[in-house]
């Protein structure tokens, strides 16, 4: 018998696959939504559609079919990407569009899924970013997309959002995650300030188990110093 059911949006990314792994070890039934299948997940839904509403329709109908009326414990959206560009850069708008598609599309579809399938007292986690709380002049499109995700969390935490009773809606705001890609591209950086993926996955497991929850609507910053990570809201 499973401990519960969780939906991971982006379960093939570095953080997403760690989350899938941690929840499988904790005996959860895991549904992965991504561009590729996860071997670890119990069920996979491959994202298709070229537009925001097409992706919404395809993903939402496939999830409804897979769950066939069963409620879920958590929706954990870890999909995202990164691209730079100041507002003066020729790449600004091209990259802003990429960031919108890779961050805001999955986050908003996850919000819809949570409103439809989350049980009372469930958990919804969306992917924010610490730098986007202020200006991000060298990555302007990235900042806009993450700021939109942060504001969506404020909306979701309000009683009028349609989210089920006593559910938690939060964004996690990493600074730098300790991923293989970041190790590759920032090989000379001080990794003692990078947040381990396992820490983030265990945090979501606690929240899903209704342990150590922050207030709904929180932007939960992940701060790692000398290899030790703490959360602040």
Question: For residues 7 and 73, what is the distance between their CA atoms, to the nearest angstrom?
Answer: 8
Tokens of 161: 């959002």
**Residue labelled with tokens 């990570």:** 229
State the residue for tokens 């497991």.
Answer: 205
Scanning 80-88, 180-188, 200-208, 222-230 for contacts with a copy of itself by CB under 8 A, the matching segment is: 80-88
**Of 2, 40, 89, 231, which one interacts with a copy of itself (CB under 8 A)?**
89
Which range binds a copy of itself by CB under 8 A, 11-19, 38-46, 47-55, 207-215?
Answer: 47-55
Can 28 be counted among the known catalytic residues? no
Rounded distance, CA 3 to CA 224, Å? 30
CA distance 3 to 214: 22
Distances (CA, A) of 115 to 58, 122, 134, 216: 17, 10, 29, 14
Minimum Å distance from CB 180 to a copy of itself?
Answer: 29
User: Token pair of 40, please?
Assistant: 């670890």
Binding to a copy of itself by residue 92, rule CB under 8 A? yes
The distance of closest approach from Cβ of residue 101 to a copy of itself in the complex, given in angstroms and rounded to an integer, is 10
The DSSP 8-state label assigned to residue 158 in this structure reads S
Size of the site for a copy of itself (CB under 8 A): 52
- Which of 104, 172, 173, 177 touches a copy of itself by CB under 8 A? 104
* 38 vs 161, beta carbon nearer a copy of itself: 161
Residue whose CB is less far from a copy of itself, 136 or 229: 136
The candidate with the shortest Cα–Cα distance to 22, out of 62, 78, 82, 80, is 78
> Of 142, 194, 199, 207, which residue is the catalytic one?
142
Across 85-118, b (16+ Cβ under 10 Å) vs e yields beeeeeebeebbebbbbbbbbbbbbbbebbbbbb
Cβ 3 to a copy of itself shortest distance, Å: 26
Restricted to residues 109-168, the positions that interact with a copy of itself (CB under 8 A) are 109, 111-112, 114-116, 132, 134-138, 140-141, 143-163
- Active site residue ranges: 142
Which chain residues interact with a copy of itself by CB under 8 A? 51-53, 56, 86-89, 92-94, 96-97, 100, 104, 108-109, 111-112, 114-116, 132, 134-138, 140-141, 143-163, 217
């Amino acid at each position: 018998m499973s401990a519960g059911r969780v939906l991971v949006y982006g379960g093939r990314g570095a953080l997403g696959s760690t989350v899938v792994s941690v929840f499988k070890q904790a005996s959860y039934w895991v549904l992965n939504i991504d561009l590729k299948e996860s071997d670890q997940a119990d069920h996979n839904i491959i994202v298709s559609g070229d537009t925001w509403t097409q992706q919404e329709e395809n993903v939402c109908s496939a999830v409804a079919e897979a769950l066939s009326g069963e409620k879920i414990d958590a929706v954990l959206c870890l999909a995202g990407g990164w691209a730079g560009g100041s507002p003066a850069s020729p790449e600004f708008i091209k990259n802003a569009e990429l960031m919108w598609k890779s961050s805001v599309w999955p986050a908003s579809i996850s919000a819809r899924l949570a409103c439809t399938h989350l049980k009372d007292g469930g958990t919804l986690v969306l992917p924010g970013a610490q730098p986007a709380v202020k200006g991000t002049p060298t990555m302007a499109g990235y900042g806009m997309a993450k700021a939109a995700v942060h504001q969506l969390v404020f909306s979701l935490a309000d009683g009028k959002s349609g989210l089920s009773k006593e559910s938690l809606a939060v964004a996690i705001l990493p600074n730098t995650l300790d991923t293989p890609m970041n190790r590759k591209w920032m090989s000379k950086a001080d990794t003692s300030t990078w947040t381990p993926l396992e820490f983030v996955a265990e945090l979501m497991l606690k929240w899903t188990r209704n342990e150590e929850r922050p207030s709904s609507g929180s932007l939960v910053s992940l701060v790692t110093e000398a290899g030790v990570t703490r959360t602040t809201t």
